Chain A
Amino acid sequence: MDNAIEVRGLKKTYRGDVRALDGVSLVAEPGTVFGLLGPNGAGKSTTVKILTTLSYSDAGEARVAGYDVVREPARVRRVIGCVAQKSGLDLAATGRENLLLQGRVYGMRGVALRRRADELLERFGLAAAGGRVVKGYSGGMQRKLDVAVGLMHRPQVLFLDEPTTGLDPEARVDMWHEIARLAGEEGLTILLTTHYLEEADRLAGRLAIVDQGRVVAEGAPDELKGELHGDTIAVELAEQPLDGEVRRALAKVPEVHDAAVEARALRARADSGARAVPAVLAALESEGVRVVSVTVARPSLDDVYLRHAGKAFSEADVEVTR
């Protein structure tokens, strides 16, 4: 087996002509964390559903751990673990019962079964809560149990679909530690979907940015950021600029490029941010655009997204959620 996940030209259209996937291709090597980053509705969950044999694609090919998801679904199911967006826990059962049932479904029995359940409860800090009904767990605890359930049968490939959505910041950081810890283990491959830039940046060794059912960029986070030469200049304006004001101003500063304005925020790129800032400020001043603050930063994934999807990430996310 060469690659843990291999996807070529995956397409899927839902009833009512909703195109969810429009030719997604990606490759994840064994023992890595592969991030699928994109706004809500970009096609991340659909990809996961097809790769986990839950849903079917209209076209394209996908192999997980070397097995074809359409022709060998039973083999795929044996080697994957899946933590879907919708928890899938039995709320009326205890944490321990959820783990035991999951293990049994995969053919685990007896001492090995119980030992594995205890080990996972211990490891995710749920040992004390294991005998309690899941309904009483906090959101963070339920999410941890979700991951524990996904790991119960020691899968080779683990799918984590938006594992931190809906968690409070503290629980999110906690979950990040857990995922980072998993990544280092026994050659486990993780496919992680997220719409948090920071999450993808911190956890993924490689990532694909998806937008409207297509992969618009793929690579290691640093590689992707490195493709954007220079710095990002972010300017907060006192009021929303009139049409063309900003464009006319920046035309006077040739070292600045890739400028975009959203409401009162102006973002642009320059080889050396520090050198360009005085010129940018002077140019804006001369067009009568008043400035509140200015920052210069190394490129972020947000900039990568802006470059490839043609809009800021936060905006794309809001667009679809609305």
Chain B
Amino acid sequence: MTAALSDSWYMTQRHLLNLFRQPAWIAITLVQPLIYLLLYEPLFKRIVELPGFGAGSYVDFLTPGIVVMTALFSAGWTGMSVIEDIDRGVVDRFLVSPVSRGSLIAGRLIQLGLVAVIQSAILLGVGYLIGAKYPGGALGILVLVTSAILLGAGFGALSTFLALLVRREETVIAAANLVLLPLTFLSSVFMAQGLMPAWMVTIARYNPVNWAAQAGRAALSLGVAWGYVLTRVGLLALFALVCTWLATRAFRAYQRSI
């Protein structure tokens, strides 16, 4: 157990070193969410006036949504770096060593989590500058960022799972394109649930992206409904755990296929 923990830390270190050697990468992952934040906000500002939207200000509504979406998108491409590692023989090198399988997954997910913290801080700052208010305070922000991290961990693990099974960049790219944006629109990231068609609401109920957006947004609002928030954070934690377990199991399938 302690070996698994220290292995995870060394693997995290490896990914962080790579990240710090190309810090521009974080900036690149922020371009798209900043565009959404800075263009959607003025564009849809008056959407809150529609009866049934249920929020006072769109920037308050949108900012936590964008935080969640950014964590999702960064994580959804994890499989690409897994495939790079497979192609270069890095995965094989670790698989013939005594390193714990779980740590190979955990290292990536912890790195994703740290990236999500940095991204969230920047986005919340920009949101604040364009007028967002966070009445839930530090605790609210903590819940939002935790939700984003758990969501990212789940999708990062799923992407790793897929990469180990198919070992083709094209498939990982196709899967990311097919899943990430639709799941974002099938959640309350941009639009309040009260104004969604009924079928979308049904899908959103089972959509982890929606759990994260709702939990984060509720935790940032005045008068937090903690039952509502904690159910969703709990579901997200479960989702992340199951996906991580799947990804760890995928090593066996990978080893059978080579």
Contacts and interface: CB of A to CB of B under 8 A. Distances in A.
Contacts of A124: none
Interface in B50-109: 87-90, 92-99
Contacts of A65: none
B97 to A, nearest CB: 5
Contacts of B7: 105
A298 B94 CA distance: 45
A56 to B, nearest CB: 6
A102 interface: yes
Given A53-B95, A89-B88, A92-B17, 11 more contacts: A55-B255, A82-B93, A85-B89, A86-B87, A86-B88, A87-B88, A93-B14, A101-B14, A102-B97, A104-B10, A133-B21
A167 B154 CA distance: 42
Contacts of B93: 82, 84, 88, 149
B88 A105 contact: no
Interface of A is mostly: loop
Given A56-B255, A97-B17, A89 B10 contact: no
Contacts, number: 71
A107 interface: yes
Contact of A106 (B92, B97, B255): B97
B97 A54 contact: no
Contacts of B255: 54-56
B3 A90 contact: no
25 contacts: A15-B257, A53-B96, A55-B255, A55-B256, A74-B98, A80-B96, A85-B89, A86-B87, A87-B88, A87-B89, A88-B88, A88-B89, A88-B93, A89-B88, A89-B90, A90-B14, A92-B17, A92-B18, A92-B21, A101-B10, A101-B13, A102-B97, A105-B99, A106-B98, A149-B93
A92 B85 CA distance: 11
B88 A54 contact: no
Interface string A62-80: 0000000000001001101
Is the interface on chain B under 10, 10 to 19, 20 to 34, or 35 or more residues? 20 to 34
B98 A90 contact: no
A52 interface: yes
B92 A84 contact: yes
B258 interface: yes
A320 interface: no
A315 B17 CA distance: 46
A143 B94 CA distance: 17
Nearest to A152: B97
A149 B92 CA distance: 13
Contact of B92 (A77, A86, A90): A86
A172 interface: no
Given A90-B18, A92-B21, A93-B17, A107 B3 contact: yes
A173 interface: no
Best-buried of B7, B93, B99, B258 by chain A (most CB within 10 Å):
B93
A54 B95 contact: yes
A92 B212 CA distance: 33
A77 B18 contact: no
A93 B89 contact: no
A77 B97 contact: yes
Contacts of A82: 93, 96
A54 B98 contact: no
Contacts of A86: 87-89, 92
Is the interface on chain A under 10, 10 to 19, 20 to 34, or 35 or more residues? 20 to 34
A107 B95 CA distance: 15
Given A88-B89, A89-B88, A93-B18, A105 B94 contact: yes
A89 to B, nearest CB: 7
Contact of A52 (B6, B21, B22, B96): B96
A207 B98 CA distance: 29
A91 interface: yes
A225 interface: no
Interface string A209-235: 000000000000000000000000000
A76 to B, nearest CB: 9
Contacts of B87: 86
A132 interface: no
Contacts of A290: none
A302 to B, nearest CB: 30
Contacts of B13: 101
Given A53-B96, A54-B95, A106-B98, A84 B89 contact: yes
Interface in B242-258: 255-258
A49 interface: yes
5 residue pairs, one from A and one from B, having the closest CB atoms: A86-B89, A88-B93, A88-B89, A52-B96, A92-B18
Contacts of A87: 88-89
A152 to B, nearest CB: 10
B38 to A, nearest CB: 32
Contacts of A74: 98
A26 B6 CA distance: 38
A88 B96 CA distance: 11
Interface string A6-46: 00000000010000000000000000000000000000000
A104 B256 CA distance: 27
A87 B85 CA distance: 10
Best-buried of B3, B22, B90, B96 by chain A (most CB within 10 Å):
B96
